[in-house]
Structure 1
Amino acid sequence: MTEQQRARRPGGRSARVRAAVHQAVTGLVAERGYGAFTVGDVAARAGVADTSIYRRWGTIESLLMDVAITRLTTASPIPDTGTLEGDLRSYAAKVARDVTGPDGLAVLRLVIALSNAGDTGTQARDRFLAERTRQLQEMLDRARERGEDPPDALDLVDHILAPMYVRVLFGVGPLTAAYVDALVDRLLSSPSRRSRSDDSAV
């Protein structure tokens, strides 16, 4: 079996190595920041050989992109509570827990840093944003199929995700349950959403 085939195996040693390398990256980003560590540092912390990382990811930027995208796709699953309001509150609460968790700040900083790291970094940022938008759109489309009037995905970013990200990145306040619920309330009662509802009733 080739190294590439082993890398694609969902379990076993390959999965353990990937998890260890990802954890090493988030730890180093949290401690040192982007650009302040090498593949060798990651390998030493993960307990693997440098060559294993180079074979699997090729470059440090590709590795960091994989970490950022993986953390996003495995975190904040899309809820299905049966109502738009229930979905929004559940999703917002889960995002708040994720971004304030052990690796949440490191992943946010990583995505921001990658966006200024040339073409590979820009691709990572775009993939991160595309995946986040896909998650939101899935939830909003389901609400629309139920006959509800969901906001736009960008409205959800502006009213819920962006304020939480800013608070975490700049340490300007905790993401309490009351604060997160207030963000959802603000979205649900936003003038632009009321205007759309009024127009549709005419």
Structure 2
Amino acid sequence: MATKEGLRPGGRSARVQESIHSAVRALLEEQERSTVTVPQIAARAGVTPSTIYRRWGDLSVLLADVALARMRPDSEPANTGSLRGDLRAWGEQYLDEMSSELGRNLLRDVQCSSTPGFCVAIIGAQLQTILDRYPDQPLPSVDRLINLISAPTVFRVLFSAAPLEVEELHRLIEIALTH
């Protein structure tokens, strides 16, 4: 993928990327994902299709890039005053966001991404922020939290007829907190 984590293009490049990302988001709100095309995106963004192909290679990579950008959190996880409360608030929000139609589509697009580990890095950073609030407590590892909270959530969203139930999410958080 042409855009890399941590790199923030400036000037014209940033404006072009934002214009293209905005065009993709708008088109995805207006029509089915399967009907969105590079020429439509280019026309909406005011660029040529070759600009998109040069930067992203193909539509699936562009959709993955837009999905990855949307998955970056806007703020720190909620601080409820307790590790259990913070994990519950984070887990419930994550479950709610990922089980929405938009969340499912984002997860599917990210599967096409050529940046393996990106989602784990985003989720891991959020969970580490929570853990860092409680330095005087015995803490599970970030990997344990990902394996017991995020992984079952994503699996159920992508491969089950129904998302994980909130009560089951709470049980998994309890398991994650036992040492």
Provide TM-score, normalisation by structure 1. 0.66
Residue aligned with 2:117, SS: helix
1:169 Cα shift? Answer: 0.8
Whether 1:161 aligns to 2:150 is: yes
Unaligned runs of 5+ in 2: 1-8
1:26-77 CA distance string (max 9 Å, x none)? 888x643xxx975335435x4543255357x343365334213212113685
Distance (Å, rounded) in 1 between the aligned partners of 2:150 and 2:112: 18
The 3 A distance-change label for structure 1 pair 78 and 27 is farther
What is residue 186 of structure 1 aligned with on the other side? 172
Alpha carbons 1:25, 1:42 under 8 Å: kept: no
**Root-mean-square deviation over aligned CA pairs:** 3.3
Q: Does 1:59 align with 2:57?
A: yes
The 2-side partners of 1:51 and 1:129 are apart by 32
**Unaligned residue ranges in structure 1 (runs of 5+):** 115-120, 197-202
Q: Which protein shows a greater Rg?
A: 1
TM-score in terms of structure 2 length: 0.73
1:171 and 2:160 equivalent?
yes
Corresponding position of 2:12: 6
Contact kept? 1:75, 1:98, Cα under 8 Å: no
Return the offset for 1:105.
0.8
Structure whose residues are more often helix by fraction: 1
How many pairs were matched up? 169
Partner of 2:129: 138
Q: Which residue of 2 aligns with 1:105?
A: 104
2:21 maps to a residue whose letter is: R
Q: Is the 8 A contact 1:160 1:183 kept in 2?
A: yes
State the one-letter code of the partner of 2:142: A
Match among 2, 5, 20 for residue 23 of structure 2: 20
